[in-house]
Amino acid sequence: MTHDDSDTLRSESWHATSTDELFSALAADETGLSADEATHRLSEYGTNDIHDAKRESALSLLVSQFRDPLIYLLVVAALLSLGVGFIPGGEPNYTETAFIVLIIGANGLFGFIQDYQATRSIEALRELASPDATVRRDGRKQIVDAEQVVPGDVVYLEQGDAVPADARVIDAEELRTNESPLTGESTPVEKTPGTVGEDTPLAERRNMVYKNTTVIKGRGRAVVVDTGMETEVGGIASQLGETDDQRTPFQAEVEHLGKQIGGLVVTLIVLVVTVQFLFTATEPVAILLVGITLAVAGVPEGLPAVVTFTLALGAREMVARNALVRRLPVVESLGSVDVIVTDKTGTVTENRMTVTRLYASGSVVDLSDSSVQSEGGPTENQQIAANGNERFRPTVAPLLRCGARCNNVDRTDGEYRGEPTEIALQRVADEAGIEPTGERLREIQFSSERKRMTVVVDDGEPTAYMKGAPETVLDRCDSILEDGDVHELTEDKRQEIRDRTESFAEDALRVLGFASKGVDDPSADADQIEDELVFLGLQGMLDPPRTEVEAAIADCQSAGIRTVLATGDNLTTAEAVGEQIGLDPAGALTGSDIDDRSDDQLESTIEDVDVFARVTPEHKVRILNTLQDTGHTVVMTGDGVNDAPALTQADVGVAMGQRGTDVARQASDMVLQDDNFATIRDAIQEGRGIFENVRKFVNYLVSTNTGEVLVVFLGVLLGSLLFPARFSGTSQALILTPILILWINLVADTLPALALGADPHAAGLMNRPPRPSDEGVINTRVFVSILTIAILLAVTGLGIFFYALEQTGSLLRAQSLLFTFIVVVELIRIQVIRSRYDQPLRSNPWLVGAIGISLLIQLAVLYTPLHGFFQVVPLSLVEWGWIAVGFVVFLLLNVFIARLNTRIFDSRSSK
């Protein structure tokens, strides 16, 4: 099939075309495209993706680096150092101006590279999370990346799927979609094949499905008419791209911090200038210079870039551990999670179901000799199994047939594809040699709320087959099949079935009930079809817990995180599985128990309940709301179409990468690529680690800036008092020059800070309680730590400065000493911060390297001709001795205050 005239594929009114015209315009038919033709069309029409109109261009990303109040402050400083030349008695300092401009440029470029990489890796993450599509190509059903879908492809749509492209429906079975992303209307829209009038508005085109909408019920097939930017959603500019603010709370906090620092610096400048102007004879030039220096000292130039770098690195690390972060802010929320509400099937269990027990005609058949172990002696079932050929005696055939008929598993090339429960039912039926099904006439779909599914099949005569939760199926039956005869379903027999269900469930089996009946009118009301059925029996399935889950739950517990199981399965099964994975089944509640309780009653019991059974998605939302109302930060997992509200409302909504629906994935914050509960623990651990690293370098960088501001501020004030002659005249009358300060902030500090961002996580990370959710990066403890370090740095640094000035009489020498002292203190102080987390220096080779490089550069500045540019002098051995003394004093005072700080804040959770 080829087509030369691409215009034929660009119709505006696919909805109004007749089916024949549609297929001929698309040069396609119901059997789908060939793989070659699909490749050809892909190169012709492009990939099926929406280009994000809001995506920032590289240029605007670069420009945005300079739109920052702190950068403005630096620009003013550069202009001032140039402008000083125009004041009588001053001379323009070109070197300084050039250096500041260079620093602004370098900083902008560095920030740009970081941001660019971060944006790219977030985009890559989003791509990883992009949905698949099921198409028919080369005459076979295939799963392809939704981006590879082309016009003419026949796509299969199932409940929970994201519609991959705009397509015309060719057949449908109760197909309903949610078109709210397109129309804003969230009421499900029924979709049927057919043709509608040319003027039918988009929202009423029943024969079309659209990209970015989702299938919330039913199934169907559709032929793709438009892809990518040609789709309706591609045409609506305002709805393009991700509208979410991807800025994380960290980044917002850092930005806020920047503003605060800016405000503080401006206040200090005003103060110093006023004091000097009014009370000293300082010349205006010198006053201006102090202002410039203060501005430069206050700006934590490297901070935003280090934050971005750390978050992007963290998100990448999470992917490596199978947790795909869809929204960056979640990295931070993960650190304060204290409850995980998880579903059962597939997350804590392996989702590899095997039918191990049957109950039909009053007796139990055990299909496994070893996997089902009951306490005490051999069970009745095991005895039956021991009898040899009892495995599939004729009385179980109707039960197995029902499991195979009422089933949507796809079997091609001997491979089973579909839901694990249904695969298990199909497999056991195949093993028993149940004959293939007749034509399916109707399906009344399964949903978590209905807990049952019914099909009508032409098995010689139309027959309804139902499977579902045993109590639900039992409610719909009035008779029972026993040894080939239909009998009345007496209360005694119902009780016997309930007892059997209970005994299966006690062994952690998932139990389904089965029923059937002949149907006169397959199109009758669903209620009529699903009534007065003949009960056929029970099938019990084993789905073993994943081996790693018990340990993961124990780890979470020691990290102060409670795990709660909330499953749609039966109470007894839920209790048994809960117990197997280390939860306390005592006090377990069911969905109807939740319904019976008021909000207050639920709040007062929720802390003691580890297991919830027979819950619907609405119950999950209620559990979530109750936990959040009682102050918890909650991770919630979900995989169904109806789980979207719970996933959106949870602090961290978690969907599954392998199992589960596109709808759930799109509503989630994080996707577990391996569907495994243990990955949630890993992600939390990672989130906590990232938070700690951010806290470490924020503490490190901000305390340096605060220290420098104090050094300059107090130094100038003290200097004007102690050495009035020196500190009132020349442009040299500074404690530290702007160039030196920029050097410290950008070279000496930034490299080690970046290495701190990549710090390995501390060992005791998961032995601490979670961080309170309202606690930012700078909590009281960090604030006190920043302030004390800044004060100590100022006190010891100025001590050395004035001592040197007194001893040598050289301002240049005193400045060189103070400069080197601050750099040395900075480099060693990193380890002081890390030692609070019990981390030895060698645990981070990057850090060792960064410190080494910074130290070498410092020596180069002092002892090579570079010192001329920086206006410093080489230090003598004796002067290094003074630095050592100053450092010991700093360290002792620091350790003392840190101990005090620990004692005061030890009761608090986070470091």
Tokens for 120, please give them: 């790219």
CB 1 within 8 A of CB 37: yes
Cα 778 from Cα 260, distance rounded (Å): 13
Q: Which stretch binds ligand ATP (CB under 6 A): 143-151, 329-337, 341-349, 734-742?
A: 341-349
Q: Which stretch binds ligand ATP (CB under 6 A): 43-51, 60-68, 313-321, 444-452?
A: 444-452
Which CB atom, from 255 or from 419, has the smaller least distance to ligand ATP?
419
- Residue 494 beta carbon to ligand ATP: minimum distance, rounded to whole angstroms: 17
C-alpha closest to that of 575 among 497, 506, 510? 506
Q: Which stretch binds ligand ATP (CB under 6 A): 125-133, 145-153, 451-459, 498-506?
A: 451-459
* Residue recorded with tokens 């209970």: 502
Which CB atom, from 416 or from 880, has the smaller least distance to ligand ATP?
416
Residues in the chain: 911
Binding status of residue 170 toward ligand ATP by CB under 6 A: no
In 138-181, at which residue ranges do the beta strands (DSSP E only) sit? 140-145, 154-158, 166-178
Binding mask 344-363 for ligand ATP (x = CB under 6 A): xx------------------
Binding status of residue 332 toward ligand ATP by CB under 6 A: no
Cα 133 from Cα 142, distance rounded (Å): 8
Which CB atom, from 145 or from 618, has the smaller least distance to ligand ATP?
618
Decide the pairing of beta strands 461-468 and 477-482: unpaired
- Residue 355 beta carbon to ligand ATP: minimum distance, rounded to whole angstroms: 14
Binding status of residue 647 toward ligand ATP by CB under 6 A: no
Cα 544 from Cα 349, distance rounded (Å): 6
Which CB atom, from 223 or from 571, has the smaller least distance to ligand ATP?
571
Cα 288 from Cα 235, distance rounded (Å): 56
- Catalytic positions are 343
What residues contact residue 590 under an 8 Å CB cut-off, 6+ apart?
571, 612, 613, 614, 615
What residues contact residue 748 under an 8 Å CB cut-off, 6+ apart?
822, 823, 826, 827, 854, 857, 858
Q: Which stretch binds ligand ATP (CB under 6 A): 22-30, 173-181, 464-472, 727-735?
A: 464-472
- Residue 469 beta carbon to ligand ATP: minimum distance, rounded to whole angstroms: 3
Decide the pairing of beta strands 562-566 and 339-342: parallel
Q: Which stretch binds ligand ATP (CB under 6 A): 5-13, 62-70, 467-475, 501-509?
A: 467-475
How far from chain centre, in Å, is Cα 775?
20
Among 452, 632, 813, 834, binds ligand ATP (CB under 6 A): 452
Which CB atom, from 343 or from 669, has the smaller least distance to ligand ATP?
343
* Residue recorded with tokens 């019920």: 217
Binding status of residue 680 toward ligand ATP by CB under 6 A: no
Among 15, 451, 619, 834, binds ligand ATP (CB under 6 A): 451
Site residues (CB under 6 A) for ligand ATP, limited to 232-261 = none
Cα 103 from Cα 295, distance rounded (Å): 14
- Residue 419 beta carbon to ligand ATP: minimum distance, rounded to whole angstroms: 6
Which CB atom, from 9 or from 541, has the smaller least distance to ligand ATP?
541
Q: Which stretch binds ligand ATP (CB under 6 A): 223-231, 365-373, 462-470, 552-560?
A: 462-470
Binding status of residue 159 toward ligand ATP by CB under 6 A: no
CB 192 within 8 A of CB 208: no
C-alpha closest to that of 321 among 304, 334, 338? 334
What residues contact residue 829 under an 8 Å CB cut-off, 6+ apart?
700, 789, 894
Among 166, 343, 543, 708, binds ligand ATP (CB under 6 A): 343
Cα 457 from Cα 452, distance rounded (Å): 16
CB 173 within 8 A of CB 191: no
Q: Which stretch binds ligand ATP (CB under 6 A): 209-217, 449-457, 474-482, 648-656?
A: 449-457
Site residues (CB under 6 A) for ligand ATP, limited to 835-894 = none
- H helices of 549-676, where? 549-558, 571-580, 591-596, 599-605, 617-629, 644-649, 662-667
CA distances from 785 to 696, 713, 819 (A): 11, 20, 22
3-class SS at 125? Answer: helix
Torsion angle of the four alpha carbons 162, 168, 169, 175, in this order, in degrees rounded to the nearest 10: 40
Which CB atom, from 345 or from 685, has the smaller least distance to ligand ATP?
345
Site residues (CB under 6 A) for ligand ATP, limited to 507-526 = 512
Among 112, 156, 446, 882, binds ligand ATP (CB under 6 A): 446
Among 469, 670, 694, 824, binds ligand ATP (CB under 6 A): 469
Q: Which stretch binds ligand ATP (CB under 6 A): 45-53, 163-171, 443-451, 542-550?
A: 443-451
Cα 461 from Cα 438, distance rounded (Å): 10
3-class SS at 458? Answer: strand
- Residue 405 beta carbon to ligand ATP: minimum distance, rounded to whole angstroms: 12
- Amino acid at residue number 704: T
C-alpha closest to that of 396 among 574, 540, 269, 557? 540
What residues contact residue 177 under an 8 Å CB cut-off, 6+ apart?
163, 188, 189, 191, 209, 210, 213, 214, 215, 216
- Amino acid at residue number 354: T
- Residue 421 beta carbon to ligand ATP: minimum distance, rounded to whole angstroms: 5
Among 468, 689, 715, 719, binds ligand ATP (CB under 6 A): 468
Q: In the bound complex, which residue of the shown chain has the CB atom lying closest to ligand ATP?
A: 568
Binding status of residue 473 toward ligand ATP by CB under 6 A: no
Site residues (CB under 6 A) for ligand ATP, limited to 390-419 = 419
Binding status of residue 745 toward ligand ATP by CB under 6 A: no
Which CB atom, from 422 or from 775, has the smaller least distance to ligand ATP?
422
Which CB atom, from 154 or from 466, has the smaller least distance to ligand ATP?
466
Which CB atom, from 422 or from 759, has the smaller least distance to ligand ATP?
422
- Residue 408 beta carbon to ligand ATP: minimum distance, rounded to whole angstroms: 8
Cα 660 from Cα 641, distance rounded (Å): 8
Which CB atom, from 445 or from 673, has the smaller least distance to ligand ATP?
445
Which CB atom, from 146 or from 534, has the smaller least distance to ligand ATP?
534
CA distances from 651 to 329, 533, 625, 627 (A): 10, 44, 11, 11
Among 467, 681, 688, 761, binds ligand ATP (CB under 6 A): 467
CB 224 within 8 A of CB 172: no
- Residue 639 beta carbon to ligand ATP: minimum distance, rounded to whole angstroms: 7
Which CB atom, from 248 or from 661, has the smaller least distance to ligand ATP?
661
Burial of 463 (0-12, 13-18, 19+ CB in 10 A): buried
- Residue 5 beta carbon to ligand ATP: minimum distance, rounded to whole angstroms: 46
Binding status of residue 448 toward ligand ATP by CB under 6 A: yes
- Residue 507 beta carbon to ligand ATP: minimum distance, rounded to whole angstroms: 15
Site residues (CB under 6 A) for ligand ATP, limited to 419-438 = 419, 421-422
In 446-587, at which residue ranges do the beta strands (DSSP E only) sit? 452-459, 461-468, 477-482, 485-488, 510-518, 533-542, 562-566
Binding mask 533-572 for ligand ATP (x = CB under 6 A): ----------------------------------xxxx--
Q: Which stretch binds ligand ATP (CB under 6 A): 337-345, 389-397, 690-698, 899-907?
A: 337-345
Binding-site ranges for ligand ATP (CB under 6 A): 343-345, 419, 421-422, 446, 448, 451-453, 467-469, 512, 567-570
